């Protein structure tokens, strides 16, 4: 068989999902127990990771010591790919928030595979574009939506709502401090809304370290009014619909925020 035909056949046979779920040259399967550090901010880059199972938290710490959670990643997500763009050190830290199995791909191996395999390149670019859209949605969410809506959206996204056609999913229970970092608010406001969500049946705590998120929480994200959203659905609440939870220092009251467009990701899921 001519060499050119053999090369074309190999490319047609290449399966990017197999590449990202098996070991090989420059690819190793690694395991991390819950709460273990996968890599630390400031460490040298040594390739990227692809999540086989488990959940990973990305966070960054400022020079003054203030910490922010960038996101929670799930099975099928990439992270640590900055080295492909020339970053020499890690710009964030990655922590396993559950037991994790990850495929570690060395930078040279990934660069070579992306150059040779169009299917892998297309999959990788699609993932990066989806994440870029998610970051844009996060910015819109932060600028326009109340902390109540932002918290509801974070919980729904963590539960991967709509992706598997189920009405509820369990996610690892995060501390209220971590949720506050992700939402961009105070721990007291997170506590206020989490208690209300639980009372209304939007969430409930499973046995162990899991939190169960119900699809009914989507009503909080899509509902639009000038007061506390969930309060209007809580007939037995001692608070009126317009009464505010603990204030955010330096931030406008939720009822005084500008009205933003609905977030496409969650709206598409509902439709």
CA dihedral 223, 165, 103, 99 (to 10 degrees): 80
Please write the tens of the pLDDT for every residue from 11-49: 568 999 999 999 999 999 999 999 999 999 999 999 999
CA distances in angstroms from 65 to 6, 60, 176, 209, listed in the order given: 56, 9, 19, 28
CA atoms within 13 A on the CB side of 34: 7
Please write the tens of the pLDDT for every residue from 46-95: 999 999 999 999 999 988 888 888 889 999 999 999 999 999 999 999 99
Burial of 262 per CB tally in 10 Å (0-12, 13-18, 19+): middle
Please write the tens of the pLDDT for every residue from 226-266: 445 555 555 544 444 445 576 666 555 555 544 445 555 55
Please write the tens of the pLDDT for every residue from 122-145: 999 999 999 999 889 988 888 888
Q: How far apart are CA 235 and CA 200, in angstroms?
A: 10
What pLDDT score does 39 carry? Answer: 97
Structural domains of the chain in order of their starting residue, each with its CATH number: 3-134 (2.60.120.10), 145-270 (1.10.10.10)
**211: enclosing H helix or E strand:** strand 210-214
Tell me the β-bridge partners of 171: 211
Residue with tokens 């990771």, as numbered in its chain: 49
List, as one string, the DSSP characters of 163-195.
Answer: SSS-SEEEEEPPPHHHHHHHHTS-HHHHHHHHH
What pLDDT score does 100 carry? Answer: 97
């Amino acid at each position: 068989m001519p060499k050119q035909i053999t090369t074309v056949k190999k490319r047609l046979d290449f399966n990017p999902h197999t590449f990202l779920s098996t070991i090989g040259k420059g690819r190793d399967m690694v395991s991390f127990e819950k709460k273990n550090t996968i890599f630390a901010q400031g460490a040298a880059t040594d390739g990227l990771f692809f999540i086989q199972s488990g959940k990973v938290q990305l966070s960054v710490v400022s020079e003054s010591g203030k910490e922010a959670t960038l996101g929670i990643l799930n099975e099928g997500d990439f992270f640590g790919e900055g080295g492909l763009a020339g970053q020499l050190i890690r710009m964030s830290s990655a922590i396993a928030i559950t037991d994790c199995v990850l495929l570690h791909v060395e930078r040279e191996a990934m660069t070579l595979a992306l150059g040779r395999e169009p299917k892998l390149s297309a999959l990788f670019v699609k993932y990066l574009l989806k994440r870029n859209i998610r970051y844009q949605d996060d910015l819109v969410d932060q600028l326009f939506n109340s902390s109540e809506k932002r918290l509801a959206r974070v919980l729904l996204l963590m539960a991967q709502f709509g992706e598997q056609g189920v009405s509820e999913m369990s996610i690892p229970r995060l501390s209220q401090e971590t949720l506050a970092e992700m939402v961009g608010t105070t721990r007291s406001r997170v506590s206020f809304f989490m208690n209300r969500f639980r009372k209304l049946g939007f969430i409930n705590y499973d046995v162990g370290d899991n939190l169960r998120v119900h699809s009914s929480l989507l009503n909080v994200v899509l509902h639009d009014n000038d007061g506390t959203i969930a309060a209007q659905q809580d007939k037995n609440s001692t608070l009126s619909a317009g009464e505010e939870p603990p204030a955010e220092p330096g931030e406008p009251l939720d009822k005084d925020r500008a009205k933003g467009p609905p977030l496409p990701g969650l709206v598409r899921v509902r439709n």
